[in-house]
Structure 1
Amino acid sequence: MTRVAAIDCGTNSIRLLIADVNAGDVNAGDVNAADAATDGGALRLGDIVREMRVVRLGQGVDATGELAQEALDRTFAAAKDYAGLIRRHGTGKVRFVATSATRDARNRRVFVDGIRGILGVEPEVITGDEEAALSFAGASSVLPSRGADPVLVVDLGGGSTEFVLGDAGGVIAAKSVDVGCVRMTERHLRSDPPTADQIAAAEADVDAAISEAALLVPLERATAVVGVAGSVTTITAHALRLPEYSPAAIHGSELSLAAVRQACTELLGMSRAERAALPYMHPGRVDVIGAGALIWRRVLERLADVTDGRITTAVASEHDILDGIALSIS
């Protein structure tokens, strides 16, 4: 057994997973465990700690190209808390991964030096392709195997969205594009609620990004679609009309595309006050969930079109890049 700590630092949130890695079978429906095929058999992640803080590291990066000092301060404060948890739980191996916002920032060295000083590990600013592969590993680790049938995993983040087509043999093709809920909110959806013109401009950006991804990822080959990350799981909670945010209720849920698109349309049209009143809405997602809903809706509409209606449902997974990071250091 090995105890590991994985940290995923994205555009909107920073998350920590401390887990024990054990060989053995696992129930794929258990939200507190993940398994993945390895040369030595199955690996199981037994959660010790899962933490998420919305720090909005990517605040303003799309416009300025730099990480704002107040965003760095919020992120460093969370990292200090995580360092305490890692020490308390006696973690042997730690991997810190930073994604879209840090990739785009000219002053990322300030971030890298700060995290190294707090945690004693070198933060890895990974490429979009690396992010995609880790997201696929995390999501596919807890989903029933579809064998040779290709599955599309879509990781809808704050600054970027990853499209990963894969099967039981691993990743077939992957592409990361620069559309995410924070980036699209800051760039387009500034009104409360957004105007029709703002929505149209955001949709044009998203459609262009999907087309860019489709040049490398054959979306038409997908036989199923799995969405991961906070925007997708929150949209799923809305579609399910949950009385509170429940990972167990969300994970593995398979809903019709019509139901998910309707949930997206509702969230996009709400005011911030209306979204804040929803019992499953994290405060840090209130202002950006509309953009997340817009992106997810356009992705599902494109998939329905290119697969000639073969894909009629979407699956939500609570396991994503964070689990992939943990599995990668086991």
Structure 2
Amino acid sequence: MTRRVAAIDCGTNSIRLLVTDVGDGVADELVREMRIVRLGQGVDATGRLDPRAIERTLEATREYAEIIVSLGAERIRFCATSAARDASNAEEFATAVEAILGVRPEILTGAEEARASFIGATGGLGPEGALVVDIGGGSTELVVGRSGAVEWSTSLDVGAVRMTERFLMSDPPTADQVATCRDYVAEVVGDAAAGVAPVATLVGVAGTITTIAAHVLNLPAYDRTLVHGARLPIDDVRAACSSLVEMTVEQRRGLPFMHPGRADVIGGGALVLDAVVTALPLTTSELLVSEHDILDGIALS
């Protein structure tokens, strides 16, 4: 028996919708949408969601509500992550979302976010055991598991938006800004990775990593069918990260695969990914990229 469900992942940088029919697994995907709304704009500095960011996110939610109704989804799950976790006025935002969708948003803990990312990522690719890395706008989740079960996870407060706003203020960022950010992220990720067993399969998910994958692949336009399942040499991944950090925002926007709403923060995310592949005890020389992630995990739940 299948059930039509709508899953919404509301992160620090983007809000995404998946409407799909779910049975034993995600099947017959009907709609997958993304809007860059930057809900987490300034949260790292102020501890509050900006009213303009809230309105951008609510406008996207209204669009999604129309799609959900038109497709006849039986169940809706709206999950918010890092930005909402950190904001003192998250309750105000949640009330506004509930008025639009009729369901109360869930603010996922770091552990819940990690589990959803792992289930979504490994459900599509099916590795026996893997470490999944999910770099978001505000946080990064590292998850180890096998056969759909999470064995270990951690959520780190380093993400593309948070690191850009905190460290990379110039365009392009100065060498000192990059070095300071790199050192900070290396310390945070290094501490987390210290207790991780050797990693034979490394799976990367979410927009920062899929965009870097498109850069490694030198795609003439973003194509999720080419990104999904790509196996990228770690050395090529690190070179792509360095390349993106050194570019101006305008140069990044000129890349044919770059979403314009990601161009100003991809440098911060690239430094996080570089730190992850450097710090983890890898026994593989590849990063396996998945287009399935926390959004798919929310739908399966």
TM-score of the superposition, structure 1-length normalised?
Answer: 0.89
Shift of 1:223: 1.0
> Does structure 2 conserve the Cα–Cα contact (< 8 Å) formed by 1:7 and 1:14?
yes
Query: What does residue 93 of structure 2 align with?
Result: 111
What is the CA–CA distance in structure 1 between the aligned matches of 2:198 and 2:241, rounded to whole Å? 25
Q: 1:88-147 CA deviation, whole Å, 9 max, x = no partner?
A: 00000000000000000001111110100111001000100000000000000011332x
Shift of 1:177: 0.6
**Any residues of structure 2 matched to 1:101-180 within 5 Å, and which?**
101-146=83-128, 150-168=129-147, 170-180=149-159
CA RMSD of aligned residues (A): 1.1
SS of 1:284's equivalent? Answer: coil
What is the CA–CA distance in structure 1 between the aligned matches of 2:53 and 2:26, rounded to whole Å? 34
Q: 1:136-160 CA deviation, whole Å, 9 max, x = no partner?
A: 00000011332xxx31100000000
What is the CA–CA distance in structure 2 between the aligned matches of 1:227 and 1:212, rounded to whole Å? 20
Query: What does residue 262 of structure 1 align with?
Result: 239
Structure 2, gaps ≥5 residues long: none
What is the CA–CA distance in structure 1 between the aligned matches of 2:299 and 2:22, rounded to whole Å? 9
What is the CA–CA distance in structure 2 between the aligned matches of 1:138 and 1:250, rounded to whole Å? 16
Query: What does residue 20 of structure 1 align with?
Result: 21
The ranges of structure 1 where at least 4 consecutive aligned residues each deviate by more than 6 angstroms after the TM superposition are none
Shift of 1:169: 5.3
- The code of the aligned residue for 1:194 comes to P
**Any residues of structure 2 matched to 1:182-221 within 5 Å, and which?**
182-214=161-193, 218-221=195-198
Tell me which of 253, 269, 273 is aligned to 1:292: 269
SS of 2:63's equivalent? Answer: helix
Query: What does residue 243 of structure 1 align with?
Result: 220
Query: What does residue 77 of structure 1 align with?
Result: 59
What is the CA–CA distance in structure 2 between the aligned matches of 1:123 and 1:285, rounded to whole Å? 25
> Does structure 1 conserve the Cα–Cα contact (< 8 Å) formed by 2:43 and 2:86?
yes
- Aligned: 1:272 with 2:249: yes
> Does structure 1 conserve the Cα–Cα contact (< 8 Å) formed by 2:11 and 2:82?
yes
SS of 2:141's equivalent? Answer: strand
Percentage of matched positions with identical amino acids: 53
- The code of the aligned residue for 2:260 comes to P
> Does structure 2 conserve the Cα–Cα contact (< 8 Å) formed by 1:176 and 1:213?
no
What is the CA–CA distance in structure 2 between the aligned matches of 1:273 and 1:145, rounded to whole Å? 38
SS of 2:12's equivalent? Answer: coil
What is the CA–CA distance in structure 2 between the aligned matches of 1:194 and 1:64, rounded to whole Å? 22
Shift of 1:211: 2.9
> Does structure 2 conserve the Cα–Cα contact (< 8 Å) formed by 1:152 and 1:219?
no
- Aligned: 1:301 with 2:278: yes
- The code of the aligned residue for 1:313 comes to E
Shift of 1:221: 2.7
TM-score of the superposition, structure 2-length normalised?
Answer: 0.97
Tell me which of 206, 221, 244 is aligned to 1:229: 206
Query: What does residue 62 of structure 1 align with?
Result: 44
Shift of 1:209: 1.8
- Aligned residue pairs: how many? 300
